[in-house]
Homo-oligomer: A and B are copies of this chain.
Amino acid sequence: MANDKLKIRSVGIDTYHENVAYMHRDCELYRAEGFQALSKIEIRNADDKPVLAVLNVVDDSSIVTPNELGVSIQTFQQLSLPEGCEVNVCHAEPPDSMGAVRRKINGERLNQHDFLNIAKDIEANRYSKTEIAAFLVASGQTSLDRDEILYLTRAMIETGEQLDWKESQVVDKHCIGGIPGNRTSMLVVPIVAAHGMLIPKTSSRAITSPSGTADTMEMLSNVNLTPERLLDVIQQERGCVAWGGTAELAPVDDKLITVERPLAIDSRGQMVASILSKKLAAGSTHLLIDIPVGPTAKVRHMREALTLRKLFEFVGDQLNIHLEVIITDGRQPIGQGIGPALEARDVMLVLENSVKAPADLRQKSLQLAGRIIEFDPDVRGGQGYAIARDILDSGRALAKMHAIIKAQGAQEEGNLSGGNLFFDITAEKSGVVSNIDNLQMAHIARMAGAPLDKHAGVDLYKKLGDKVKKGEALYRVYAEFKPDFQFAKNLCQTNNGYDISDNYETPKSFVDII
């Protein structure tokens, strides 16, 4: 078949994390509907790695003509071919490694070989979103034993790039997430880097949360650094706070997360593999993991936190990373602001030793930084906290933060206040704040437009144990965009996320964060 080719056309449709191709119903070469029913096609030009895509059939020749193959923006980028270039199309067979996924569904244990094949197929975009969902659910909470988690972690590391910093100590920290406002990384990095340790912190952007560390840092500096620029910054300043998406570190993890998060299925095994694969690929030698525990945190009971700690320790030890786990108070958001601008404001207040700085954010960051500083063989056990506090109080952390911001490229706009649209949520009765729902507060900030609208979010006026009078403001919601403002307002009316009790003993932290 010599003339069995279609011309590639980039269709201006952004299909997010899924590849989509568009074929005219009267395509001159292929039976569009036949392809569509089998759900995936493989697009090839002469030599290259095939690109897989879901097929949509088009009846409108202004979108795609019968001798063209339209592709969505993402697909066009992956193909890296010029428009008009000729390609072949064929049926995409289901990936071979789906056999292993089906065995997992049937309760079998998979081996290292199986996990590596699955990771390779996912990396090569051979899995559809439903196939990824099948793998995630099959390897859900109760179905991966600790050896399988190790295999999965290894497979995710091996299917991406790995950095080597050529230093004996490369430290990092990671929080398992779920606590709004918890921007400790932006304080830990300058403190630890000011101490002289190498802390190349790459962060993620929000997927379903109101802000990721990368989104918040972006208020202050550029975070989209090329791998080369990143290296310069780190060599110069010993630390950075940048978006990790430019390096191909554990790319399978990214693909899994984009399906897992909207499904809101929390698999402990996937979490451990996700965190450790990213950190090991990034070349970390020493890692501190923060597990917040609370009724609306990801981990709700101390016994769960302990199980999870052991899992991290087991896999970390096998993969030869020095790993410590700290269990922290996750009963409420950390700091005052939720959303990129408001969180960045909190971070700067702590660095500036302002009296307005949120005490819990300062305290927690010092604890974490102190533990990391104790990875330094020259630091006496138990002295880390004092060293961290000294670095922060003396202004050295602030100076380091300014240096990192400058090295990454400072943002011109310095406005860290909330958006122009706002409303307050007030107490319906007098009493004591007895519960703040992390999930609901995150949801409200998200609906208000965070993280896309940088100044959208929530500013908390009252925290757990605070006394409130009826009508007093509990928090303020900021938005920039009117429909989002309304979405957030509607959501607060359904559930404002706060409980007020009449007689409530200010509870002590039920986990000891020191």
Interface residues of A (CB under 8 A from B): 1, 4, 11-16, 20, 22, 25, 29-31, 33-34, 36-39, 56-60, 62-63, 72-73, 90-91, 94, 98, 102, 105-107, 128-134, 136-138, 140-142, 207-208, 259, 262-265, 446-447, 449, 452-453, 481-484, 486-487
A1 to B37, CA, bound (A): 42
B13 touches A56 (CB 8 A): yes
Q: List 27 A-B contacts (CB under 8 A).
A: A1-B483, A1-B486, A11-B63, A12-B58, A12-B60, A12-B63, A13-B22, A14-B36, A14-B57, A14-B58, A16-B36, A29-B483, A30-B483, A33-B452, A34-B449, A39-B262, A62-B62, A94-B264, A98-B263, A105-B140, A105-B141, A106-B140, A107-B142, A128-B262, A130-B263, A131-B133, A133-B134
Determine how close the nearest CB of chain B comes to the CB of A42; give it in whole angstroms.
11
Which residues of the partner chain B approach A136 to less than 8 Å between Cβ atoms? 134
A481 to B105, CA, bound (A): 38
A106 to B57, CA, bound (A): 38
- Nearest B-chain residue to A140, judged by Cβ: B105
Number of chain copies forming the complex: 2
Q: A12-B58, A16-B56, A31-B453 are in contact. List 10 more A-B contacts (CB 8 A).
A: A1-B486, A11-B63, A13-B60, A14-B58, A15-B56, A29-B483, A34-B449, A37-B208, A38-B208, A98-B263
6 nearest interchain CB pairs? Answer: A12-B60, A12-B59, A133-B133, A14-B57, A130-B133, A137-B137
- Nearest B-chain residue to A22, judged by Cβ: B13
Which residues of the partner chain B approach A446 to less than 8 Å between Cβ atoms? 38
B73 touches A487 (CB 8 A): no
A262 touches B106 (CB 8 A): no
Which residues of the partner chain B approach A56 to less than 8 Å between Cβ atoms? 13-16, 20, 72
Interface-central residue, A91, A132, A486, by most chain B CB under 10 Å: A91
Which residues of the partner chain B approach A207 to less than 8 Å between Cβ atoms? 37
- Nearest B-chain residue to A138, judged by Cβ: B137
A453 to B4, CA, bound (A): 19
Of B4, B14, B133, which one neighbours A137 at CB under 8 angstroms?
B133
A484 touches B31 (CB 8 A): yes
A129 to B58, CA, bound (A): 21
- Nearest B-chain residue to A99, judged by Cβ: B264
Which residues of the partner chain B approach A38 to less than 8 Å between Cβ atoms? 208, 262, 446
Determine how close the nearest CB of chain B comes to the CB of A499; give it in whole angstroms.
21
A452 touches B34 (CB 8 A): yes
Which residues of the partner chain B approach A62 to less than 8 Å between Cβ atoms? 62
A107 to B107, CA, bound (A): 12
A384 to B447, CA, bound (A): 66
Contacts A133-B137, A265-B105, A483-B29 hold; do A447 and B91 have CB atoms under 8 A apart? yes
- Nearest B-chain residue to A450, judged by Cβ: B34
Which residues of the partner chain B approach A98 to less than 8 Å between Cβ atoms? 263-264
Which residues of the partner chain B approach A265 to less than 8 Å between Cβ atoms? 102, 105, 134
A436 to B77, CA, bound (A): 43
Determine how close the nearest CB of chain B comes to the CB of A1; give it in whole angstroms.
6
Of B60, B107, B483, which one neighbours A11 at CB under 8 angstroms?
B60
Which residues of the partner chain B approach A72 to less than 8 Å between Cβ atoms? 56
Interface-central residue, A102, A208, A487, by most chain B CB under 10 Å: A102
Determine how close the nearest CB of chain B comes to the CB of A40; give it in whole angstroms.
8
A250 to B29, CA, bound (A): 37
A16 to B23, CA, bound (A): 13
Of B29, B59, B94, which one neighbours A14 at CB under 8 angstroms?
B59
Which residues of the partner chain B approach A90 to less than 8 Å between Cβ atoms? 487
Which residues of the partner chain B approach A128 to less than 8 Å between Cβ atoms? 262
Which residues of the partner chain B approach A107 to less than 8 Å between Cβ atoms? 141-142
A131 to B12, CA, bound (A): 27
Of B13, B25, B134, B137, which one neighbours A57 at CB under 8 angstroms?
B13
Which residues of the partner chain B approach A453 to less than 8 Å between Cβ atoms? 31, 34
B13 touches A58 (CB 8 A): yes
A58 to B20, CA, bound (A): 13
B13 touches A262 (CB 8 A): no
- Nearest B-chain residue to A102, judged by Cβ: B265
A452 touches B31 (CB 8 A): yes
Determine how close the nearest CB of chain B comes to the CB of A397; give it in whole angstroms.
33
- Nearest B-chain residue to A62, judged by Cβ: B62
A261 to B1, CA, bound (A): 31
- Nearest B-chain residue to A98, judged by Cβ: B264
Determine how close the nearest CB of chain B comes to the CB of A437; give it in whole angstroms.
16
